[in-house]
Structure formats: structure tokens, C-alpha cells
Structure 1
Amino acid sequence: MGEPLKAVLFDLDNTLTDRTKSIAKYSEIFLEDFRCQLVEPVTSAWLVDKILTVDQGGYGGHEHRCHLLSELPIWKKTPTPESLLAHWFSHFPHCPVAMEGLYDMLEALKRKGLKLGVITNGKDHVQRAKISALNIESYFDCIVTSGEVGIKKPAAEIFHLAVGKLGLNAEEVVYLGDHPINDYYGAYHAGLKAIWLEGYLPWPSGVVQSSSTIKGLSEIVPLVFKK
């Protein structure tokens, strides 16, 4: 990877968390809480499919997702999009499911003596609740959310802010995320060594393909220390 590495920074959703499995976990709560308002029994698998369709990997927009859910033909009494949005923010942050290999990866990187951190777009209390629910706060030397600092990925400033909190230079830090633009190219243009986690969002046509790609968290340790 070139220069000696001293830290790895991560995206959160669909990088450290498995968003599809997290939505499946949330759907069970949703069906229980709204059971009396449904026309007929709805399966969790059906609901997960509908949520995933409008969620778009977390980039579909919260208000848009809840508006479309309120229009599904499943309601005896249709809840307002606002009530669905409130339900989402009350429960989804506490439903994260760890991405496969998460804990082994964090342990391995810490044993190597690397600093670790998170850069994530989203409301500060929501993103921190997910990290807390996964019980992984202790692994991180910094957590930077767009909601806290008022800067969103792919802006270089949010990457530089996190690197500064670690007391390092950009070229000493690797960043891993699933979004081709917000994560990979955001980090790349900020001077970090960027890695794309493939399989969750399509690579945009007409954009130069990433030079460093993995398909699972188990690949990150050998890639980071590749000579």
C-alpha cells in the first residue's frame, strides 16, 4: 500500500453494519407495533423487500421511504409518514446487525497496533446509537459524523478532520466504505488510501474503477499489510 500505515477509518452503514439484516431486524418490530393497523398479516420477508426497494442502501431519503411505506396497500388505518419516520428513528438505530467478520477484523487490526475510526454521514445520535448497539465504541480512536461536524462525505474536509483527530497525515491512513463516490473517491481525493467494499452499491458508469477493492471484511487485514 506504499507509505507505512498507522490507521484505518471506516464508513458505518453497509461497511461495519449489514443494512439488509438490520432492516430485517427492524421489520419484526415494525410488524409487531403496527399489527392492529394492517389489513391482513404481512410477512417480514415481504416488508423487508419493500423497505429495501425504497431505502436504496440508505440513500433513498428517510422522508421519501416513510411516505412510500404509508402508501402501501396494507393498512386498515393509514399512519402518517411523520409517525412512520418517528418509529424508524426510535427503533432502527438500535437494530444494527454486524457485517460478517466485523469483530475478528477489528481485533486483528488493533493487535497490529493501528488506530481505528469511523466517518459516517447521518444524524450524530443515530449513528452513535448504532455503534453503541454493536458494542464496538472501545475499538475507535475517533468517530466523526456529518451531523456533528456539519460536513458530509464526499467533502475532503470531513476526512481531513478525522485524520487530524488521529494526529496523522492523510497518506498514513486507509479508508474503507461501500459508496463509490462518497467513500472511495471522497477518501481518495482527500489523500487517503481508499478501498471500496464491493457488493452493496453499483459502480457508476463512466467513473474510473477503484484500484483497490474487497468483497468482505476478512480481506482488509491482508490487504492493508500487503507488501
Structure 2
Amino acid sequence: MNFTEHKIACYQHIFFDLDHTLWDFEKNSNETLLELHKDFLDERIIPKEQFLAVFHEVNAHLWHLHDTEQITAQELREKRFTMVFQEFDFHNPDLSIAFSQIYLEKTPRKPHLLPQAKEMLDYLSQKYKLHIITNGFPEIQRIKMESAGILSYFQEIVTSQEAGCKKPQKGIFEYLLQKVQCPKENCLMIGDNLLTDIEGALQIGLDCVFYNPKKVPHNRKPSYEISCLGELKEFL
């Protein structure tokens, strides 16, 4: 564990990101993608392992554009599979639309959490009030949490659509702070994204934990840094 020199405050509220922090986006997505590949695609034209890799690369790129206000949520949905298919020189607009619809219908119902997520929620919920703050699509975030069996742990679930702005903008953090009626000094943000979660928290003066399972090098200065969720027990 790599901690910055930081005095541990008397936290009362913990703000969690959802995708890639608690909910295992990659595993849940891959299950749906493999089902789509099996039902609709030819392995000789689009090999399934390459299909998965290209999807995650395209998806990460589009979400970055979405988080930085360069594309809308609708554009993300419409472009995602079109761009994936283009990488294989495969053009089928109707299938792209169908894949988008099926993916959004099936993936949120997958139940997989990241390692130790459930254990940490059991532990932390006995000591703190837990909340979700997410840029994810509002209509599917609750479905994800219900499917994974974690909805009951959280008191407030704030989406960017509800707040009227996205992480890393200050407004979404201020919106949640207002909802929980607690000074920021008594709140802690936990997330995996250096831009949306960590920079967003730091610019408002909110203590934060960078969940960095791949130990990606960076020059940010989060309050704490962990590589597995179980490490939260060492200081919370």
C-alpha cells in the first residue's frame, strides 16, 4: 500500500464510484460480449478475443470523451459498436444498433463484483454511511446494484444526470455533499479513475482513495492509494 503522509480524519460518509471500483465492468461486459459473439458473429471474421479487446479500447475512449463533455451519452451508445466493427472492416448498421440494445439490456443484470467488494461493504457499512456518485447512465445503475446484491448498502445514489454535471466537475460533488448535509472534511471519495474520481475530489478539497489495482504510474496526489479493496481496512 502506498499512503501519502496524511492525517486520517474522522470520516462519517464514504462516496463510492461504481463501475471498475465495486462493480466488475470488465467481467460483466465480457460475459455479454461473448454471448453476442456466439449468437451473431463469425469467429473467422471477428475473433472473439480480439472483439473483446477492441470493445474495451473503444469503450474507454468514448467514455473519456463523454466524461470530458465531448460527446453525449446517446452518441456514446450509438457509436460504440459501429466503431468496434469498423476495426474489423465490418459494416452492418442494423447489427450495430441491435448489439447496443442487447448489450445495454443484458450487461447491467450481470452480478459480478470486484474482489473483496462485498466484504468491504459489509465492513464499512457498520461504521460509515455509504453513497454512490457516478457518471453512468442513471436508468441502469440501480439495476447493476440490485443484480449484484449491493443496493441496500447505499443511502444516496447520485448520477451526473441528476446533479446536472459530471465528475470531475465540482458541482456533482457539491450536490452530494449538500444531500448528505455533512462537511467535506468528514467525507471520503473512493474511485478508480484519476480524472473523474481523484482530480474531481481533489479540486473540491475532498479526501480521496485511488483504487489502483493495476498499479498504474501517475503524478497525482490522492490522500490514499490502494491496489486491492481489502486494504481499506488498514485505515478505515
TM bin (shorter chain)? 0.7 to 0.9
- SS, match of residue 168 in structure 1: coil
Of 143, 148, 151, which aligns to 1:129?
Answer: 143
Residue by residue over 1:50-101, the C-alpha shift from the partner in whole angstroms, topping out at 9 and shown as x without a partner, is: 2122222853644443122232548696644333322222222223520110
Distance in 2 separating the partners of 1:76 and 1:191: 47
Could you list the per-position Cα deviations for residues 10-43 of structure 1 after superposition, in whole angstroms to 9, with x for gaps in the alignment?
00111012222122211232124424xx364866
* SS of equivalent residue, structure 1 residue 141: strand
- Paired amino acid for 2:229: L
For residues 192 and 72 of structure 1, the distance between their equivalents in structure 2, rounded to whole angstroms, comes to 40
Quick one: which of 197, 202, 225 aligns to 1:213? Answer: 225
Residue 117 of structure 1 corresponds to 131
Superposed structure 1 runs of 4+ greater than 6 Å apart: none
For the Cα contact (< 8 Å) 1:178–1:201, is it kept in 2?
Answer: no
Aligned residue-pair number? 219
1:180 aligns with 2:201: no
Letter in 2 for 1:103: K
Quickly say closer, same or farther: Cα 1:166–1:71, change in 2 above 3 A. same
Q: Which moved more, 1:76-85 or 1:98-107?
A: 76-85
Note the aligned Cα RMSD (angstroms): 2.6
Matched, 1:99 2:114: yes
Where does the alignment leave 5 or more consecutive residues of structure 1 unmatched?
none
Cα distance in structure 2, aligned partners of 1:92 and 1:189 = 33
Tell me the percent identity: 26
8 Å CA contact 1:115–1:166 kept in 2: the answer is no
1:203 Cα deviation after fit: 5.4
Partner AA of 1:165 in structure 2: K
Q: CA deviation at 1:129?
A: 1.6
Give the aligned partner of residue 53 of structure 1: 57
TM-score by length of 1: 0.84
| Equivalent in the alignment of 1:68 | 83
Amino acid at match of 2:168: P
In structure 1, what is the Cα distance between the partners aligned to 2:92 and 2:192? Answer: 38
User: 2:98 and 2:156 mapped to 1: Cα distance?
Assistant: 33
Alignment deviations for residues 174-213 of structure 1 (CA, whole Å, 9 cap, x no partner) = 1111111210121122232111111469555xx5443421
SS at match of 1:176: strand
Superposed displacement of residue 165, structure 1: 2.1
